[in-house]
Amino acid sequence: MINRLLKIKQFMTVTLAILLLIFENVSAQESVLVYSNTSPPDNAANVYGIVPMIEELKNTIPMKLVPGSQLFDSRTALASIGGGIADAGEVISSYSRSDLKHAVILNDLMYLGRNELVVNAAATETLLLNCPNCLTDYAESNTLFLSGAAAGSYGMLCKNEVTNLTQIKGKKFRAVSASRRWVRALGGIPVSLSINDMVEGLSRGLVDCIVGPIAWLKSYPIADDVNYIYAYNIGAFSFATMVINRDKWDGLDVSQKQALWGAQSGVSARTVVRLYVAEAIKARMIAKEKGIPINNAGPDIEEFWLDFRKDETSTVNKVASDLGAKNPKEISNNFVKNIEKWEKIISSSGLSNLLNLEELNEEILYKAEVEYEALLQKNIFDKINPEDL
């Protein structure tokens, strides 16, 4: 116990020193909200999602972006934000399963959907409006969930040849959360690597492929190690774009809370549209330039997916129950209903066509951001008073 306390003290001392260096030009009296994540500074999540929010709120809430895992990695994000190492940041619930045992259900059900616009909206609505225990998960870690996003256009980014369903068998795949079940069902071998480690893992041959959005070919430095892309566009992985330290939130005045809350639909919309839809288009362009073949899956994997997803809800409910979740069936049922609801909303809006873009079109992307933000605001964020959070 004493050794553990000493390690914690040493860790906090080092962290404090880092923060002091980062803010050496900021006076101790100035209240700065530190937002941190694992993405590089030039990643679309920061360029289009976070930086515009910081600029929008600069006269209301001074904010500072500390990107690139400078303060924490994916596995320590929740504890770091709750402990005040950063005031806010991105959290992937599958890395904090025991702490987010209710919230992670939405993450684990990623193979129920294919459209990141739908899954993000459905997961965000479920968490904020239909899952008190999900919010309690965050509260017990001294944090508050404000907004989310979702990754889509899933496939396999491979060093070694995978161009069809039969070539998956026996190969090693970097896969987390529900993708581990997906890989096993396909006959592959899932390997746990954090986002920070997966680049080296692919380069060194620790894995044959990475299971993830095709956009990662653009977002991470893996293009030189990817020789094949097997695209099936099945699954959409939800995560939290903005989780804030509870004490920091409570310290904001009413106008600051309203301003920060009002910015969340925009952060969510821009992150999904720019980080995954637009980056997927860029990734396909990179693949073409580098001569990396993109093999689009056929009806065989479509049939496999339809069969696979039949048991996903009951499987995830069982996993959640084993973690100690109180009402997994209710949470998953609400999520399924919200997926169905948002499939209709997105379909009627015309935004589904966004996923079929083959070339970058700035006008279309910008209009999509604005329209998607308005839909999120109307159907989710306008229904919550930030003063009640």
Q: What are the residues whose beta carbons fall under 8 Å from the beta carbon of 244, sequence distance 6 or more?
A: 33, 81, 87, 88, 143, 144, 146, 260
Predicted pLDDT at 350: 84
Domain ranges of the chain: 30-150+239-290+326-388
Take residue 275 and report the two structure tokens written for it.
């980080």
d(CA 104, CA 133): 11
Predicted pLDDT at 30: 52
Contact 111, 234 (CB under 8 A): yes
Predicted pLDDT at 5: 35
Residues 18-74 pLDDT 10s: 434 444 443 333 589 999 999 999 999 999 999 999 999 999 999 999 999 999 999
DSSP structure class, residue 93? G
Count Cβ atoms within 10 A of the Cβ of residue 57 and give its class: 0-12 exposed, 13-18 middle, 19 or more buried: middle
| H/E stretch holding 154 | strand 154-158
- Closest CA relative to residue 148, chosen from 43, 280, 237: 237
Tens-digit pLDDT string for the chain (389 aa): 333 333 334 434 434 344 344 444 433 335 899 999 999 999 999 999 999 999 999 999 999 999 999 999 999 999 999 999 999 999 999 999 999 999 999 999 999 998 999 999 999 999 999 999 999 999 999 999 999 999 988 999 999 999 999 999 999 999 988 999 999 999 999 999 987 799 999 999 999 999 999 999 998 999 999 999 999 999 999 999 999 999 999 999 999 999 999 999 999 999 999 999 999 999 999 999 999 999 999 899 999 999 999 999 999 999 999 999 999 999 999 999 999 999 999 999 989 888 888 888 999 999 999 999 999 999 999 999 999 99
Kindly report the CATH number that applies to the domain delimited by 30-150+239-290+326-388: 3.40.190.170
Predicted pLDDT at 359: 86
Predicted pLDDT at 4: 35
Predicted pLDDT at 244: 98
